[in-house]
Amino acid sequence: MSEESFEQMLNESFKTIHTGEVVEGTVIDVKPDEIILNIGYKSDGILTKNEYSNDNSIDLTEAVKIGDKIDVKVLKTNDADGQVVLSYKRLALDRGNKRIEEAFNNKEVLTAKVVQVLEGGLTVVVDEVRIFIPASLVSDSYEKDLSKYEGQEIQFVVTEYNPKRRRYIGNRRMLVSEQKAEAAKKLFESISVGDVVEGTVKNVTDFGAFIDLGGADGLLHISEMSWGRVENPKKTFKVGDSVKVLIKSIDGSKIALSRKFDDENPWKDAATKYAVGNTVTGKVARMTDFGAFVELESGIDALLHVSQISKDHVEKPADVLKVGDEVTAKIVDFNEEDRKISLSVKALLAPEKSEEAAEETGDVVSVDIDKVIAEQNEEN
């Protein structure tokens, strides 16, 4: 048998392939940048990484293994090196177009990995079809930095499908809004005024903190953060903190929260601890021209009027006291209903007088503490 006849018989034993044809190949070798396939032709097929997937981060040695069977599309039957050039990506793209069209028509929720973060949005890939999700459609609120989505799997719906222009637009914001609405509905059905729930600090402002309750946010006002005085919410809470809060009120979609729990109320046994005539010790918390507010314990302040600081005349509290000073004084007035306590250092230094005598000499002072505090808060 001549060599020509043998070669002719050998060539006839291989199938004929054509450009554009879909063939099945068996993986016989895998390299980082290409896959070698036996496609039953006289030459092996070459499937490059670029023609395997649009995902540049993919590792071919992990994606396939020797012996795997893959359907591929023939791009060239004989390149410059006499090899057959194949594409898996383009075949997948054809199938992907049909998949995306079905999802678009059926408003199906798709899940895909973010393969690229751009300044204007995110790119995901579904069956080798690149879908763009504009920044404005990523979430229900503006997100300046989208880098956190890199490599994440996200859900979305296709809201624009135009294969001729290769324009595929996804919308995640729609799903986020729907999910939040459903979560909010469940939350409001499950909570009532007086409930104690767990939440996460979402944002902190000068006037309070917004707490995510898992479906809706509640406002924890600065005045409800503690039985004690809170000067700066940002020093008390930080974003991400887990907090236990009391549902104080629900008004439509607005939830007011509090951390003033009844079992921690410092006034519950104050009538005994701070009865008139008792001697107490506290620290000066703040001062005004008319007196100093002394913190007896967290949540309980008492007024030491300027006239009660000393037996001697004191022009201004700041002349003899400063914030942080420890003061020992006598309780001269206790009003549990209005939560007012008045102190006197003078009463410890001078002999006790009858109430009538004290009034005549001006030793007993009645001050509207609530009004004083309100005025001071307005100034601050």
Tell me, which fold does domain 192-263 have in CATH? Answer: OB fold (Dihydrolipoamide Acetyltransferase, E2P) (2.40.50)
CATH superfamily entry for domain 3-87: Nucleic acid-binding proteins (2.40.50.140)
Averaged pLDDT for residues 206-223: 94
Find all residues with CB under 8 Å of 244, minimum gap 6, and list them: 196, 197, 198, 199, 259
Residue 335 main-chain phi, psi, to 5 deg: -125, 95
Domain residue extents for the chain = 3-87, 96-176, 192-263, 270-379
Mean pLDDT, residues 103-119:
94
Q: Kindly state the helix (H) or strand (E) to which residue 67 belongs, with its residue range.
A: none
* Core vs surface per residue 160-189: b (16+ CB within 10 A) or e: ebeeeeeebbbbbbbbbeeeeeeebeebbe
CA dist 90 and 99 (Å) reads 14
Q: Mean pLDDT across the stretch 224-244?
A: 91
In angstroms, how far apart are the furthest CA atoms of the chain? 142
| pLDDT exceeds 80 at position 82 | no
Q: CB neighbours (10 Å) of residue 224?
A: 19
Q: H/E/C letters for each residue in 273-315?
A: HCCCCCEEEEEEEEECCCEEEEEEECCEEEEEEHHHCCCCCCC
- Domains 3-87 and 192-263 in one fold: yes
Class of domain 96-176: mainly beta
Average pLDDT, the chain: 86
Lowest mean pLDDT among 15-19, 244-248, 256-260, 333-337: 15-19
340 closest CA partner among 289, 283, 300, 286: 300
Task: Look at 94-103, 196-205, 290-299, 359-368 and tell me which has the smallest mean pLDDT.
Answer: 359-368
pLDDT band of residue 4 (cuts 50, 70, 90) is low
Using DSSP, state whether 170 is helix, strand or coil. strand
> What Å distances lie between residue 142 and 82, 114, 245, CA to CA?
54, 18, 28
CB of 248 closer than 8 Å to CB of 257 = yes
For residue 201, pLDDT over 90 is answered with yes
Over residues 22-34, the mean pLDDT reads: 93
* pLDDT tens, position by position, 168-196: 999 999 999 999 999 999 999 999 999 99
Residue 83 banded pLDDT, cuts 50, 70, 90? confident
What gap in Å lies between CA 28 and CA 39, rounded to an integer? 10
**pTM, two decimal places:** 0.57
When pLDDT is cut at 50, 70 and 90, the band that residue 9 belongs to is very low
The answer to whether 240 and 203 have CB atoms below 8 angstroms apart is no
Fold annotation for 270-379: OB fold (Dihydrolipoamide Acetyltransferase, E2P) (2.40.50)
- Residue 20's pLDDT band (cuts 50, 70, 90): confident
Range 128-148 average pLDDT: 92
* Residue-level pLDDT at 5: 54
What type of residue sits at position 346?
K
Indicate whether 342 pLDDT > 60.
yes
Q: Could you give the C-alpha distances from 69 to 20, 23, 25, 35, 350, in angstroms and in order?
A: 19, 10, 6, 12, 102
Q: How confident is the model at residue 351 (pLDDT cuts 50, 70, 90)?
A: low
d(CA 143, CA 134): 11
DSSP string spanning 229-247?
--S-HHHH--TT-EEEEEE
Task: Write the CB contacts of 356 (distance below 8 Å, at least 6 apart in sequence).
Answer: none
- The residue that leads in pLDDT, 237 or 353, is 237
Query: How do 279-287 and 326-335 pair as beta strands?
Result: antiparallel
Of 94, 80, 114, 82, nearest in space to 21 by CA: 94
Q: Are 308 and 345 spatial neighbours (Cβ–Cβ below 8 Å)?
A: yes
Q: Do 88 and 51 contact (CB within 8 A), yes or no?
A: yes
- Helix, strand or coil, per DSSP, at residue 189: helix
The residue among 57 and 367 whose pLDDT is bigger is: 57
For residue 182, what pLDDT is reported? 93
Q: How far is the C-alpha of 380 from the C-alpha of 368, rounded, in Å?
A: 19
